């Protein structure tokens, strides 16, 4: 029996990671090369000649004397942790298919839970931010989903304390899943779905959904829409029209239940974004570390207070 090439692809082993990023100096040199691939250029005047201060880890422009930090303006700005711990956290997060909790990450890194929690959420924010820049296109399977809620009492869409989110998987012409987007929404209303579709689906794509009335709103967002009334029940999950979105929903929910003890509603979009980011880049597991490092460089600094604000959506 042939092996799945994605599942059995080569990844970055822990030995390779240590050889490449085992010291603080190696991490600094790699980050410098990623941030300034054509050599250092002063962010103030653009001059390319500089000197490195001995008293502090700063680069000073020889022309305007502006001083720049390696991590200024990036997700790493203001951190008190060594870069090698950030690099190791990124490695562990990207190479673990089912995710890694902040508690387990704390044990692996040897730092406090609170520091690890902040680090993990900053990294997940970088993953979500970058993934939100890419729209789905082609044939898009769409479904409504919920996270959390009470165990007893009323079930389904009317149950209390549930967090609604839209699940979408884009397929190519051969019917293979290419990208997915899971986005928390306020609810399943026409306005909410229209706004979501404008953000996350390219115009003229074919959206395939069940009979939920609000999904018709994708048509007002310049999408083609195919509605298939499933009737509900276990058999509707097996319909070929929704096989991939239902498969990914099941996989992600099982992974989240198995890895995380609890997820607060306001942080749910980051957790969903983490799984989408890794799924959308699953064909290059080895290169995902460098890709995420680049995305952390492009993500603005996020103070701890911003991580605890109200929920982020879409």
Give the mean pLDDT of the chain.
90
Residue 236 binned pLDDT confidence (cut-offs 50, 70, 90): low
> Would you state the pLDDT for residue 310?
56
Q: Give the DSSP H or E segment for 275.
A: helix 268-280
- The answer to the question of residue 309 being in a domain is no
Whole-angstrom Cα distance, residue 295 to residue 99?
A: 18
Q: pTM to 2 decimals?
A: 0.91
Per-residue HEC secondary structure of 65-104 comes to CCEEECCCCCCCCCCCCCHHHHHHHHHHHHHCCCCCCHHH
- Structural domain count of the chain: 1
Q: Which of 133, 101, 141, 137 is nearest to 119 (CA)?
A: 101
The answer to whether residue 5 scores a pLDDT higher than 80 is no
Inter-residue contact 160 to 150 (CB < 8 Å): yes
Residue 238 binned pLDDT confidence (cut-offs 50, 70, 90): low
pLDDT tens digit string along 252-268? 999 999 999 889 999 99
CATH classification at residue 193 = 3.30.420.10
Per the model's pLDDT, the better-predicted residue between 59 and 232 turns out to be 59
> Would you state the pLDDT for residue 211?
86
Whole-angstrom Cα distance, residue 278 to residue 275?
A: 5
- The answer to the question of residue 59 being in a domain is no
Whole-angstrom Cα distance, residue 87 to residue 101?
A: 17
- The answer to the question of residue 311 being in a domain is no
Residue span of the structural domain in which 258 resides: 139-264
- The answer to the question of residue 36 being in a domain is no
pLDDT tens digit string along 78-113? 999 999 999 999 999 999 989 999 999 999 999 999
The answer to whether residue 141 scores a pLDDT higher than 90 is yes
pLDDT tens digit string along 182-227? 999 999 999 999 999 999 999 999 999 998 999 999 999 999 999 9
- The answer to the question of residue 72 being in a domain is no
- The answer to the question of residue 11 being in a domain is no
- The answer to the question of residue 123 being in a domain is no
- The answer to the question of residue 209 being in a domain is yes
């Amino acid at each position: 029996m042939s092996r799945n090439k994605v599942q059995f692809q080569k990844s970055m082993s822990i030995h390779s990671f240590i050889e490449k990023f085992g010291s603080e100096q190696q991490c600094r040199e790699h980050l410098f090369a990623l941030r300034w691939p054509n050599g250092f250029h002063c962010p103030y005047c653009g001059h390319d000649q500089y000197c490195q201060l001995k008293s502090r880890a700063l680069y000073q422009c020889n022309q305007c004397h502006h001083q720049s930090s390696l991590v200024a303006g990036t997700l790493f700005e203001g951190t008190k942790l060594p870069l090698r711990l950030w690099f190791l956290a990124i490695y562990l997060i990207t190479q673990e298919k089912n995710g890694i909790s902040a508690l387990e990450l704390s044990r692996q890194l040897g730092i406090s839970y609170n520091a690890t929690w902040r680090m993990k959420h900053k990294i997940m924010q970088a993953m979500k931010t970058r993934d939100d820049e890419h729209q789905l296109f082609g044939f898009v399977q769409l479904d409504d989903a919920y996270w959390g809620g009470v165990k007893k009492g009323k079930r389904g869409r009317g149950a209390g304390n549930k967090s609604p989110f839209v699940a979408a998987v884009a397929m190519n012409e051969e019917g293979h899943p290419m990208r997915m987007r899971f986005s928390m929404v306020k609810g399943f209303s026409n306005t909410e779905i229209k706004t979501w579709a404008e953000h996350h689906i390219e115009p003229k794509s074919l959206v395939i959904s069940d009979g939920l009335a609000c999904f018709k709103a994708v048509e007002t967002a310049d999408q083609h829409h195919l509605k298939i009334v499933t009737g509900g029940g276990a058999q509707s999950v097996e319909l070929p029209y929704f096989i991939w979105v239902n498969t990914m929903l099941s996989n992600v929910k099982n992974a989240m239940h198995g890895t995380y003890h609890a997820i607060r509603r306001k942080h749910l979009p980051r957790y969903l974004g983490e799984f989408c980011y890794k799924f959308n880049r699953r064909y290059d597991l080895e290169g995902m570390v460098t890709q995420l490092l680049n995305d952390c460089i492009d993500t603005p600094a996020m103070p701890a207070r911003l991580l605890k604000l109200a929920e982020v959506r879409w």
